[in-house]
Structure 1
Amino acid sequence: MIFPYFSDYTMIILIPGLILAAFAQWNVSSTYNKYLRVANSRGITGAETARKLLINNGITDVSVELVGGKLSDHYDPRKKVLRLSHEVYNGRSVASVSIAAHEVGHAIQHNIGYAPLKLRSAIAPVAALASNSAWYLFIIGLFFNFAGLMELGIVFFTGAILFNIITLPVEFNASQRAIAQLDQNAILYDEDGPGARRVLNAAALTYVAATIMSFLQLLRMLALKGSRD
């Protein structure tokens, strides 16, 4: 068998994760698109929301910029830049202000020294390298029946899973801060609240799905190695 990693019975281990990941992607896309068409009651844009929340939290050294792509919104703690996609930056929808507030949540985390964010930022480069290297090491070890390389690949991939686990509290906390900030600063009225929560919960599910999928991938790697021992 030329490509044993991709063509054996252990693929069944990944099926629950693939189903959950597909649902999470569909859910975030459909929920985002739905509330992108629902105007927020204040008529405020995502960029205006971000700048208002930053100022109200005493954060004056973070800039808000427009970035290309869809759902490409993120906060860069290294450059202290909050980047919003066109639909969020210029949009006046419930989805736009919700996502902008979520990214401000990360800026607030950075400003107060939120420990999980500091840890995630510190290990992100190493985790990315470990994740990419893990697959190559494991597959080469599997192909040549070299247990040492397979074990090293598993160790590297376990490190990448730890990064996913650390990401969960960072993202959930940012969403909690977003809802609180939108409420405290009267940016969303009561009728907008449920939609904002649905948008942020749908986005959070994608991180949960990614973490579960990575666990299942690790189980498959262990099953494949076990079959060679």
Structure 2
Amino acid sequence: MGYYYWDPTYILVVIGAVICMIASARVKGTFNKYSQLRSMSGMNGAQVAQRVLQAAGIYDVQVRHVSGSLTDHYDPRTKTVNLSDPVYNATSVAALGVAAHECGHAIQHAKSYAPLSIRSALVPIANFGSMLAWPVILIGLLFNTRSSGLIIDIGILLFSAAVLFQLVTLPVEFDASRRALVMLRTQGILADDELRYTRRVLKSAALTYVASAAAAILQLLRIILITNGRRRDD
């Protein structure tokens, strides 16, 4: 058992964790930096969200306040744009960018944006796969039977579903940011020089999803290396 817990492939896990930590630190630092820059419009995050939704012809989505920091999200099940403490009542260019970004997801939902629909369909599969992948793989590794290879392959397939979810998330997030910047500009909410700062905030936020996808791919590569090594030994 020690071999599987201390094998060299752990370096892939470490690399993935470091990438995620760097991305997380960057988005927090960038958001905090531009949270100090008040927008000239004087609008807060909640007001911007309402403005963007109405401009997009969306009247069945509510804007709500949620506790926490950067816990902002759009919930397609309840059709709510949920804005966190540093965004809901804040008037900074960072807060307005985040609020508009979440409305970007609401616009995607209203327009049946294909990648968003695919990601929503993948949610239960990805959750199921990420939860069961390692137990299934370990069963295949520990019990040397004729069906071990098949069990391992099932485990890899389950984890691959979680990786696919991360990959599909990328175009969804980048598109939401693009829609947000267009709305902020066309609605006159932010000036061009302010949009430059908002774009930096949204870009750093998008990089956290890129980091998560990279970490998931590295983890999948590690699983494949471990299982292939076991098969060669057998």
| Interval containing the TM-score (normalised by the shorter chain) | over 0.9
State which drifts further: 33-42 or 99-108: 33-42
- Match of residue 132 from structure 2: 133
Aligned partner (choices 206, 209, 212) of residue 208 of structure 2: 206
TM-score by length of 1: 0.95
Secondary structure of the 2:81 match is strand
Residue type of the alignment partner of 1:149: I
The 5-angstrom pairing of residues 33-72 of structure 1 reads 33-72=32-71
Q: Which runs of 5+ in 2 are unaligned?
A: none
Quick check: 1:5–1:139 contact (8 Å CA) kept in 2?
A: no
Mapped to 1, the partners of 2:129 and 2:209 lie a distance apart of 19
- Match of residue 114 from structure 1: 113
In the TM superposition, what is the alpha-carbon distance from 1:138 to its structure 2 partner?
1.9
Mapped to 2, the partners of 1:73 and 1:194 lie a distance apart of 21
State the aligned residue count. 228
TM-score by length of 2: 0.93
- Match of residue 11 from structure 2: 12
Secondary structure of the 1:87 match is helix
Mapped to 2, the partners of 1:25 and 1:112 lie a distance apart of 30
Residue type of the alignment partner of 1:126: I
The 5-angstrom pairing of residues 72-221 of structure 1 reads 72-144=71-143, 146-221=148-223
Residue type of the alignment partner of 1:153: G
State which drifts further: 78-87 or 139-148: 139-148
Q: Which runs of 5+ in 1 are unaligned?
A: none
In the TM superposition, what is the alpha-carbon distance from 1:63 to its structure 2 partner?
0.2
In the TM superposition, what is the alpha-carbon distance from 1:132 to its structure 2 partner?
1.2
Secondary structure of the 1:39 match is coil
Fraction of identical pairs, as percent: 46
Flag the 1:5–1:186 CA change in 2: closer, same or farther, 3 A: farther
Mapped to 2, the partners of 1:218 and 1:18 lie a distance apart of 14
Residue type of the alignment partner of 1:177: R
